[in-house]
Amino acid sequence: MAEQEHSHPPYILIWVVLLVLTLAEVAMSLYMTNVSKVVLAVGLIFMAVWKAALVAMYYMHLRYEPARLWILAISPIPLAFILVLAVISEF
């Protein structure tokens, strides 16, 4: 393969982190009922973003890809915001 040589990412360590974050999310959602809904939602989405970033960076090897692919990969994020904002403005 022509891709750059790199040592394997710490796959198992990332798996453990994903599991811990998932358990933390479930515990927060089920047991932190005295926290306001907005704070809880922001916290949960923040953790989900971190989990997604770990999957993209290490399992999808984005971290080891050329910068151009990396830019391509994040390009739909602003587009996604525009789509949602456009729909909200119609609403």
Partner 1 sequence: MSNAAVATMDRKPMPGMMVYNKKLGMWVFLLSEVMFFTSLIGSYVILRFAHPDHWTEVGTVLNVQLTALNTFFLICSSVTMVKAFAAIQAGDQKGLQRWLLATILIGATFVGIQVVEYMALSGEGFVPMLDSYHAVGRGNPHEGPSLGGPLYGATFYAMTGFHGAHVSIGVLCLIFVYIQSLRGVYTVQDHEGVEVIGLYWHFVDLVWIFLFTIVYLI
Out of 2, 34, 36, 78, which residue is the one contacting partner 1 (CB under 8 A)? Answer: 2
Binders in 61-90 for partner 1, by CB under 8 A: 65-66, 68-69, 72-73, 75-77, 79-80, 83-84, 87-88
Q: What is the 3-state secondary structure (H, E, C) of the chain?
A: CCCCCCCCCCHHHHHHHHHHHHHHHHHHHHHCCCCCHHHHHHHHHHHHHHHHHHHHHHHCCHHHCCHHHHHHHHCHHHHHHHHHHHHHHHC
| Position 57 contacts partner 1 (CB under 8 A) | no
Q: Cβ 7 to partner 1, closest distance in Å?
A: 11
- Alpha carbon 2 to chain centroid, angstroms: 28
Q: Which is nearer to partner 1, 34 or 79 (CB)?
A: 79
Q: Cβ 34 to partner 1, closest distance in Å?
A: 13
Q: Which is nearer to partner 1, 34 or 68 (CB)?
A: 68
